Structure 1
Amino acid sequence: MDLHRLHLHGAEAVIARHGAELQALRLGDTDLLWDAGPLWPRHAPLLFPVVGGLKGDLLRHRGQALPMPRHGFARDRAFTWAERTPAGCALELRDDEDTREAYPFAFHLVVRYALAASGLRMELELHNPAPTPLPASLGLHPAFRWPLTPELSKAAHRLVFRAEEPGPLHRLDGRGLLTPEGHATPILGRDLALHEDLFREDALIFLQPRCRSLRYEVPGGPSLVLAWEGFPHLGLWAKPDPGPSFLCIEPWAGHADPTDWEGDFSEKPGVFLVAPGATRSWSFSVALGGEA
């Protein structure tokens, strides 16, 4: 079975075996996720074992230079169902001969989804079964509808952070690599007014955001609260388009190669290490209404 549908008290979600990807989320009367239309062909890909791009799309480790696509390979791999219930599921991905050609490490990645009437919770665990440290990055890339409902104006939408976010903001160069200089943040206090021009130069990247939650809202329409744990960075991205499109709100543990970085993947800025035999965990939730 390639898809698993979750149902509970009117809330619905669809999870795909391919990439362990959330492909649909309906809370109340609102479809919240981008429909993978022509503008961008994904819904909410999982980023592993890298977030963003590596220089030359190569993972360098112990003298080897191994091909690694932007955002890694997990989003394009078939996971295995570990559990399926009417309101939840779990999927897992383990290393194999194919993954080790690009990423020469043993790993066990588990992704769990749990649906409630008011929202969806996602939990992730990365276990290191090897006797040596496991270097990795991991991130989420959910694309929410923008506007949230068709009759609303895109320009009326905003993000409200739990606390003030003074920045700085970071950007990518033309190769998708992280530039060293910081930029003034477009967030005014706690509020970020959303418009296409924000994303003319690609993603907005916050390497040290204060907050671990925010509210995506529009007057007269739905309000979503997103919260996460374990992810120290945040990316915001959209493809500028005057029509209905999407807004990606992306908690990350890791980021693209800095433009001036040269070195082993295990020492790259943004990479974390999982100790031998240890497990690292993260969580992400989406709920209707309320405070961030």
Structure 2
Amino acid sequence: MSQILLENEFVSVKINEKGAELVSLFNKNNDTEYLWQADPTYWARNAPILFPIVGKILNDKIKIKGQEYEMGQHGFARDLCHHLVEQSNSSANYQLNDNEFTKSKYPFAFELHTQYELLENGIQVNYKIVNPSVEAIYFSFGNHPAFNWPLNKEKSKAAYYLEFESLETADRIQFENGFITGEKNPYLKNEKVIQLSDDLFVNDALIFKDLNSTSIILKSDESKEKLKVSFQGYEYLGIWTKPEAPFVCIEPWCGIADNANKPLTFEEKMGVQKLDSKKEFLCQVSYTF
């Protein structure tokens, strides 16, 4: 599997050809790896790109224009090789196009562009989805990065919390067995902080929609290490980990899992984006220290 290294005086990152996936985010100033290193004991991925769906699909099938297509959780982009179009010391551009395999899973033509740009204090990733066809296409898109929790291994997980950019009043979208139930429960009430604990995820991920904030920080008052996740162009934010795992995922999404109680066609699904002929869809994330 081909892998590239981007680095400057302050930061080094590694990116895999498979999935155009970020697999290392290393801060040279404090000698710290911030990205989860895919220990299969817990979760064997780092920061997959989710396309053309986000989340689980009923019976692992999507229905488009009356035809069913088999589709696994989170789509196929994370498992395919993306073509490295251009690379410098501080940036890399990847592209994934539709092909015979993708057409067997998802009938639409597309171009998925992923551009990594090093910053002095982290990495910025720009995404562009292009519709090259004469008809509208439908898709969901998301990011699933996992970060070491705790960031400082000498500190406890319980010392860490998430801090939103703005005060938030938001419902938690309810999940059951990986599917949304259609129910929402009040969760954030004019507050900025979520205290992290393993118990927080007993009932699956925390999922919020249409937040005021465009960034969230993983931090501890006991340590200088912190990580800011910034996002532009996303509708949902997911926060997730596996039981007792030493990582936490902070996931901006344009899409969400199926409703187990309300089967819909792909075009009708919550969070699905419509992109007209020759148009572009843009979104951006950054991970900074």
Answer whether contact 1:215 1:223 (CA < 8 A) is retained: yes
5 Å-filtered alignment, 1:54-133, equals 54-133=57-136
- The 2-side partners of 1:26 and 1:51 are apart by 27
Query: How many angstroms does 1:240 deviate by?
Result: 1.9
| Secondary structure at 1:197 match in 2 | helix
Query: How many angstroms does 1:184 deviate by?
Result: 2.7
TM-score calculated relative to the size of structure 2? 0.96
Q: 2:64 corresponds to which letter in structure 1?
A: H
After superposition, the C-alpha distances for 1:214-238 in whole angstroms (9 at most, x for unaligned) are 1110123212221110011100001
Q: Structure 1 residue 137 and structure 2 residue 140: aligned? A: yes
Answer whether contact 1:59 1:68 (CA < 8 A) is retained: yes
5 Å-filtered alignment, 1:148-167, equals 148-167=151-170
Answer whether contact 1:159 1:214 (CA < 8 A) is retained: yes
Partner of 1:271: 272
Q: 2:182 corresponds to which letter in structure 1?
A: P
Partner of 2:34: 32
- Structure 1, unaligned runs of 5 or more: none
- Structure 2, unaligned runs of 5 or more: none
| Secondary structure at 2:78 match in 1 | helix
Query: How many angstroms does 1:25 deviate by?
Result: 0.2
Q: 1:15 corresponds to which letter in structure 2?
A: I
The percent identity for this pair of structures is: 35
Query: How many angstroms does 1:10 deviate by?
Result: 2.8
After superposition, the C-alpha distances for 1:67-113 in whole angstroms (9 at most, x for unaligned) are 00000000000110011111110110000010011100000000010
- The 2-side partners of 1:23 and 1:33 are apart by 7
| Secondary structure at 2:229 match in 1 | strand
5 Å-filtered alignment, 1:170-181, equals 170-174=173-177, 176-181=178-183
After superposition, the C-alpha distances for 1:193-244 in whole angstroms (9 at most, x for unaligned) are 0000111111111022221111110123212221110011100001121xx6
Alpha carbons of structure 1 residues 186 and 199: separation in structure 2 relative to 1, 3 Å: farther
| Secondary structure at 2:38 match in 1 | coil
- The 2-side partners of 1:224 and 1:62 are apart by 43
Answer whether contact 2:169 2:188 (CA < 8 A) is retained: no
Q: 2:70 corresponds to which letter in structure 1?
A: P
5 Å-filtered alignment, 1:45-60, equals 45-60=48-63
Q: Structure 1 residue 3 and structure 2 residue 3: aligned? A: yes
- The 2-side partners of 1:269 and 1:153 are apart by 37
- The 2-side partners of 1:162 and 1:84 are apart by 33
Task: Indicate the structure with greater strand content.
Answer: 2
Answer whether contact 1:91 1:112 (CA < 8 A) is retained: yes
Answer whether contact 1:261 1:268 (CA < 8 A) is retained: no
| Secondary structure at 1:216 match in 2 | strand
Partner of 1:245: 246
5 Å-filtered alignment, 1:204-223, equals 204-221=206-223, 222-223=225-226
Query: How many angstroms does 1:179 deviate by?
Result: 1.3
TM-score calculated relative to the size of structure 1? 0.95
Q: Structure 1 residue 229 and structure 2 residue 232: aligned? A: yes
- The 2-side partners of 1:135 and 1:103 are apart by 10
Query: How many angstroms does 1:186 deviate by?
Result: 5.7
Alpha carbons of structure 1 residues 136 and 97: separation in structure 2 relative to 1, 3 Å: same
Deviates more, 1:221-230 or 1:142-151: 221-230
